[in-house]
Amino acid sequence: MPYLELSLRCSEAEQPRYERALEDVGALAVTMVDADADTVDERAILEPGVGETPLWNTLQLSALFAHDADALLLLAALEAFDPALDWTRAGFRNVEDQDWERAWMDRYTPMRFGARTWIVPWNSEMPAGADAEDAAVVRLDPGLAFGSGTHPTTSLCLQWLDALAQAGELKGRDVLDYGCGSGVLALAALKLGAAGALGIDNDPQALQASSDNARRNGVDARLLLRSPQQAPAGAWPVVVANILAAALDALAEDLAARVTPGGRLALSGILDGQQEALLRRYRPWFESLAVAHDGDWVRIDGVRRRD
């Protein structure tokens, strides 16, 4: 199905107001990238934390509307909702649904993380090694949600899950994926031997994409998907949260309570330089805290104290 796409540049400070206005007039999806990045890799879209805003100073904001939406009427509605914003920046174009899928398929190729974990686009042939008996292969179609393994924040988490599996600390255990996006981390955990997984995300589109990907991988019976407000209470032996540093700070007490004593936690979506504050924040509940780097990004992982 085709869509009408609205795009504009805005500052980080303006972004929440633009996004509220776009959602109020019926945007089906709102995405954002770094408007000042020079390469496709640098324009990666992060899986958002609960109540989070992007890290970038200037954003390229895009919103999808039904293909038969009237651009002039949309602009009039947007100006009425928040007349203080500059809607003259907005541009429109028609896009085909297949453009989203084709852009993803053309760019991403099968990737290996650690010893056994493979992320393979759903339409790609299985690469050498991914057909091994113990390979954990996730067939992925991100839809309109994000998290494919190519960004360092996701890659760091996939490597961590793979290492847990290699150490025998994942098989038969339940996993919580907080900020699940496309579901890639929960799916990888299940393919690596986890008994079940709970994926939490505040974006309904992400929950739908995770559900679709779980069915494609034949693990939908073992994956429960919920919004933060509907998520069940309890604690998990393995918890991974790939969101952003500010959200990890705000959610520290809640995330700590969701890890069983002796359980394992991984935090990602952290820029190099932000880890010290988060290490101090999580140290009261966790021991053996370690930091792993991938370019400008880091992962923190540790073990929940038993006392």
- 179 marked ligand binding residue: yes
CATH number at residue 229: 3.40.50.150
pLDDT digits (tens, 9 = 90+) for 131-161: 888 999 998 864 444 555 667 888 999 999 9
Between 231 and 105, residue with greater pLDDT? 231
| Helix, strand, or coil (residue 291) | strand
Residues 26 and 172 in one domain: no
CATH number at residue 64: 3.30.70.120
Say whether pLDDT at 38 is over 80.
no
Say whether pLDDT at 54 is over 80.
no
Lowest-confidence pick of 173-177, 184-188, 240-244, 300-304: 240-244
Residue % of the chain over a pLDDT of 70? 85
pTM of the predicted model, to two decimals? Answer: 0.70
* Cα–chain center distance at 147: 5
d(CA 41, CA 253): 33
Say whether pLDDT at 75 is over 60.
yes
Inside any domain, residue 221: yes
pLDDT of residue 130: 84
pLDDT of residue 150: 63
pLDDT band at 37 (very low <50, low <70, confident <90, very high): low
Domain limit, last residue, from 26, 61, 95? 95
pLDDT of residue 149: 60
- 217 marked ligand binding residue: no
Query: At CA 273, angle to CA 271 and CA 279, rounded to 5?
Result: 95
Residue % of the chain over a pLDDT of 90? 47
Range of the domain at 48: 3-95
Lowest-confidence pick of 119-123, 190-194, 226-230: 119-123
Residues 48 and 170 in one domain: no
Question: Encoding tokens for residue 128?
Answer: 């050498």
Phi-psi region of 203 (alpha: psi -120 to 50; beta: other; left: phi over 0): beta
* DSSP of 9-78: EEETTTHHHHHHHHHHTT-SEEEEEETT-SSTGGGPPPPPPTT---S-SEEEEEEEEETT--HHHHHHHH
Mean pLDDT of 114-129: 85
Inside any domain, residue 28: yes
Domain limit, last residue, from 56, 78, 95? 95
Inside any domain, residue 293: yes
Distances, alpha carbon 196 to alpha carbons 23, 59, 191, 212, 274, in Å? 34, 37, 10, 17, 31
Residues 300 and 175 in one domain: yes
pLDDT of residue 52: 45
Count: domains in the chain: 2
pLDDT digits (tens, 9 = 90+) for 273-282: 889 999 999 9
pLDDT band at 298 (very low <50, low <70, confident <90, very high): very high
Between 204 and 283, residue with greater pLDDT? 283
d(CA 286, CA 256): 8
- 201 marked ligand binding residue: yes
Residues 67 and 194 in one domain: no
Residues 164 and 278 in one domain: yes
Say whether pLDDT at 169 is over 50.
yes
Between 118 and 42, residue with greater pLDDT? 118
Residues 206 and 285 in one domain: yes
Burial of 254 (0-12, 13-18, 19+ CB in 10 A): exposed
Inside any domain, residue 209: yes
Mean pLDDT of 159-167: 97
| Helix, strand, or coil (residue 196) | strand
Residues 167 and 86 in one domain: no
Residues 162 and 259 in one domain: yes
pLDDT band at 66 (very low <50, low <70, confident <90, very high): confident
Say whether pLDDT at 40 is over 60.
no
For the chain, the farthest-separated pair of C-alpha atoms sits apart, in whole angstroms, at 62
pLDDT of residue 124: 76
Mean pLDDT of 172-184: 94
Domain limit, last residue, from 51, 74, 95? 95
Say whether pLDDT at 247 is over 50.
yes
pLDDT band at 48 (very low <50, low <70, confident <90, very high): very low
Residues 27 and 171 in one domain: no
